[in-house]
Amino acid sequence: MQTNQPNSFIELKINRDLGGIVTAYFDFLKQNIKKFTNLFLSYNGIFLIGLLIVSYLLVSGFVGMIANENNSGFGDSGIEDESYLLYMGAGGILFFIIFIMVAILNYSLAGGYMIKYEENQGNNFDKKEVWDFFKSKLGAVFGFILLLIVLYIGFMIVSFIFAIIPIIGMFAQYIVQFFITAWIGVSFFALLYENKGVTESYGEGWNLVYNNFWKSVGVNFILGLLNGILLLVVLMIPGILVGIYSFHVVQNNVDVGASILPTIIYTLATCAFLIVFIYSQCITQFVNGLLYFSLHEKTYNTNVRSKIDEIGKLGE
């Protein structure tokens, strides 16, 4: 069994089984979480401010509607309800825009980080190298996303068909979902790492994932579940604190519209949830990065061949 010191290189180009990928994922995360978090915060500053604004709009609308409902006997509540709905609608639209932009940025940064890690045989590289790598791939990434939108429309149609099939359709829908997730993630790495074209990268990803169907589905199911549990653990403490405050509000009939404090508390809590959610989605790209390198090595044996060549040269 390979043990990894804090700065040791976790070799990515290894044909691992499902359990090996899960183990390597957590080893990689443990070694790189601090540096990648610093990278995440450095290049997401403006989006984090945007999420704070989104949280304020959503909470202000929600709190305003509750307060207006409690005071429905006074004044023209209908007009106020419309303004609060406008707040929530604006917050929802802004969140959708920010989420798409952040997804493109952070999926690329996560992929670029892992590729730079492989190239440098460890995490001894500057975060600016990852940013420069992202900028050099920006055109290809946008092309990839445009085709992805078309694929998701097809996936939604297939999901709807499975949804009307009792029991078996539900399981089939989840299997297809994890397969699509693996296909997109592996294809994205083929785009970034192998400099393939957009359609060519999707073709490469399809071949790798389809030929290792259950392994790809299993990796995304297990690590998706474990990442979800980690997300709940991280959010547990602030969630409990907000829950206690909400209990206080209900028990004491606090007028949430009469004070700015509830809006501040719920805005910060919502913002924290959105940031953690986006961050957790971002690091899931490492899952399919490890899957890509494992499937690529299984298919082409490039790393094994290079090591054999090196041994042959030493023996000459």
* pLDDT mean across residues, the chain: 86
Q: Under a CB-based contact definition with an 8 Å cutoff, are residues 147 and 166 in contact?
A: no
Tokens of 117: 């890690």
pTM for the structure as a whole? 0.87
Report the pLDDT value the prediction gives residue 257, as an integer from 0 to 100: 64
CA distance 85 to 58: 9
Tokens of 214: 């259950």
Determine, yes or no, domain membership for 137.
Answer: yes
Q: Whole domain around residue 231: which residue ranges?
A: 31-308
- The pLDDT tens digits of the residues spanning 299-311 come to 998 887 777 766 6
Once rounded to an integer, what is the mean pLDDT over residues 92-103? 88
Determine, yes or no, domain membership for 11.
Answer: no
Determine, yes or no, domain membership for 235.
Answer: yes
Using CA atoms, how far residue 149 sits from 26, 178, 180, 196, in Å, is 30, 17, 13, 19
Q: Token match 């924290």: residue?
A: 272
Determine, yes or no, domain membership for 66.
Answer: yes
Which residues, including other chains, have CB under 8 Å from residue 158's CB and lie 6 or more apart? 176
Q: What percent of the chain has pLDDT over 90?
A: 47
Query: How many CA atoms lie within 13 Å of 300's alpha carbon, on the beta-carbon side?
Result: 13
CA distance 171 to 239: 31
Report the pLDDT value the prediction gives residue 235, as an integer from 0 to 100: 84
Determine, yes or no, domain membership for 197.
Answer: yes
CA distance 23 to 28: 9
How many structural domains compose the chain? 1
CA distance 293 to 16: 9
Q: Under a CB-based contact definition with an 8 Å cutoff, are residues 110 and 278 in contact?
A: no
Report the pLDDT value the prediction gives residue 248, as an integer from 0 to 100: 80
Determine, yes or no, domain membership for 15.
Answer: no
